[in-house]
Amino acid sequence: MASVTPGVKQRVEQLRKNIQAASYAYYVLDAPTMEDAVYDRLYRELQDLENQYPELITPDSPTQRVGEKPASGFNSVRHNIPLYSLENAFNIAEFTKWQERWQRVSGSGEVSPDTPLYICELKIDGNAIALTYENGILVRGTTRGDGISGEDITQNVRTIRSIPLRLNLETPPKLVEVRGEAFLALDVFQQINQERQQAGETQFANPRNAAAGTLRQLDSKVVAKRRLDFFAYTLQIPGKDDVEVAQTQWEALELLQKMGFRVNPNRVLCKSLEDVQAYYDEWNTGRLNLPYMTDGVVVKINSFKLQEQLGFTQKFPRWAVALKYPAEEAPTRVENIIVNVGRTGALTPLAHLHPVELAGTTVQRATLHNSDRIAQLDIRIGDTVIVRKAGEIIPEVVRVLPELRPEGTQPFYIPSHCPVCNQPVIKPANEAVTRCVNASCPAILKGALEHWVSRDALDINGMGEKLVHQLLDKGVVHSVADLYDLTVEKLSALDRMGTKLAQKLVDAIAHSKTQPWSRVLYGLGIRHVGSTNAQLLTDKFSSVEQLAAATTPQIESLYGIGFEIANAVNQWFKVPANQSLIERLRAAGLQLASQEKPQQQTGKLSLAGKTFVVTGTLPTLKRDEAKDLIQKAGGKMTNSVSAKTDYLVVGEDAGSKLDKAQELGVKQLSEADLLAMLQ
């Protein structure tokens, strides 16, 4: 191997400097200083020299943005500085209340009229990232996670060209922490979805989901190809190291830009609430012309001194708030109305719409909920309607514009017979939902099978939706019990099913027989019985015989189980077909009783005697994982909030349970709070 000469080393350093400067001008300043062909030639020369002299390769080299090998997974790492979420305000009135709160905490609302009080920045709809630089070199990039810990995605972060691998400072501090938002530009997002559609792959729902999925790709070459972008918005220099640092958020953004980061240019200093409102109103319409998604405005107190004085609550900084925009609405046309049948037999009307762009995604369907909602809207095929993303996730029809209704349209009614099996449907007097009650209905059976094999139920690996459909279409199975009669020979006769795959499925089905009684009960799909209720029921009734023999009052006496659940369970076990199903499952070897486990508690039950409810989407834990952790620590889980509830664990998009908890004064916990209690 040739030795490195001073001339070669100097050339490598010069190439890196030229390429870094060109990347900064192109990706951050949007002012290219070099032709693409020249950039490519210099990049190739650097690549060739590093291949020839691998000892010259450094982590901050531009060639290291794309890893040579896919990552094997992501490690969880603790953030040097926690990443707090922001409190939300959905209108100026709520913002005013936030302002009054921080002024009370600070002890004074008096600020010089000539001093900019706030800085307003656009809230980029992406994924928060934490970056760590040591002596000016990027050493770590992590996801936000729960704010305390995140996933180490350094290899993928290196592919984002608006993130410098080396800070643009002659004498950088020993340690620099940068926070910002990774996102996908709208045109890039659309291109990715077009490519996925052509490849027969599922399209991403929106740019934020696409960015999140991209960041967690195990192959950084895929990440690089998707062209993620990044805006930096927070800078922290622990210890300061005698470096001149910013005194305000505005100065911090200026310093970030000097360091080589891309900073959103649409920021402004505001002296008053009126200035904030003007900025908010301006971008309510202006954001529609941006090349990326934004869902609100982040308002921060500009002075770092005042920020430090105000500090944090358990979940939020007191000195910042996210002023969110209302859910986006758009007009479109109803091209058809169909009725779907779910696993419980519920008939759900669905509007098929002329495609419309809504909150960055193309919407073609919207739920109409039930017959009462249809009557309330008086919606008809051909109507022009206003569609909104409920919670910015689920499309729904807000209202009909009858003045644009074509002539000759007819009112829509829920059919009197099931659209799948053609049997009569019923609508109980006390319910809004119309149901098919034919237990042999293919739609009900399909839903029952999909539920039975799902992860939270019997967790039969490899038994996906397509295979369930094929088993039904071929007439191979007619109930969940038939799954346990499947053999390699039967499965091998199906389309695209080899002997090896068939054997894996048979093994997975056999393994499901070891799932506990609580999962079997949940898998049966009894109305109102979720995974938590199933656990409560099986804790009390340790066998299927005990539960089947229990009366409605006996079941209802269990804390956390109401009449509706108790009655549904009692009635289910009275149906002869269900009794036959239980006998077949017993014969197949399913667990229909709790297994006695020796009490070998190695640590203290830190949550013993406490009752918990979980609501919303947690940052890192799935809801069943949180419940499992609570129960293992001796805590009790219920589905509904009451005066007996000790804690409500709150995630994003929390609903009525949070309102009830606030009304009753139930203590609220974040995921980070819960994990701290478990330590």
pLDDT band at 602 (very low <50, low <70, confident <90, very high): very low
Fold classified for 329-415: OB fold (Dihydrolipoamide Acetyltransferase, E2P) (2.40.50)
CATH number belonging to the domain at 611-678, selected among 3.30.565.10, 3.90.320.10, 3.40.50.10190, 2.102.10.10: 3.40.50.10190
pLDDT at 250 (0 to 100): 96
The answer to whether the CB of 263 falls within 8 A of the CB of 256 is yes
Tell me if residue 636 is catalytic.
no
Query: What average pLDDT is seen over the chain?
Result: 86
Digit-coded pLDDT (tens) for 459-498: 999 898 889 989 988 889 988 999 999 999 999 988 888 8
The CA–CA distances, whole Å, from 618 to 207, 615, 652 equal: 20, 8, 6
Fold classified for 6-56: Helix Hairpins (1.10.287)
Binding site as annotated, residues: 36-40, 85-86, 121, 144, 181, 300, 324, 418, 421, 436, 441
Range 173-194 average pLDDT: 93
Pairwise CA distance, residues 10 & 6, whole Å: 6
Binding site as annotated, residues for NAD(+): 36-40, 85-86, 121, 144, 181, 300, 324
Annotated domain spans of the chain: 6-56, 87-324, 329-415, 442-513, 517-588, 611-678
pLDDT at 245 (0 to 100): 75
Tell me if 442-513 shares its fold with 517-588: yes
DSSP output for 397-429: EEEE-GGGPPTT-------SB-TTT--BEE--T
Pairwise CA distance, residues 224 & 367, whole Å: 37
In the chain, pLDDT over 90 holds for what percent of residues? 39
The predicted model scores a pTM of 0.52
CATH number belonging to the domain at 442-513, selected among 3.40.50.300, 1.20.5.50, 3.40.50.150, 1.10.150.20: 1.10.150.20
CATH code for residues 87-324: 3.30.470.30
Query: Which residue among the candidates 9, 123, 574, 644 is catalytic per the annotation?
Result: 123
What residues pair up with 183 in beta bridges, in sequence order? 229
- Phi/psi-derived region of residue 665, left when phi > 0, alpha when psi is between -120 and 50, beta in every other case: left
CATH code for residues 517-588: 1.10.150.20
Residue 258 has pLDDT above 90, yes or no: yes
Q: What are the residues whose beta carbons fall under 8 Å from the beta carbon of 458, sequence distance 6 or more?
A: 452, 512, 515, 519, 520, 523
Digit-coded pLDDT (tens) for 379-412: 999 998 888 875 545 688 988 888 778 888 999 9
pLDDT band at 67 (very low <50, low <70, confident <90, very high): very low
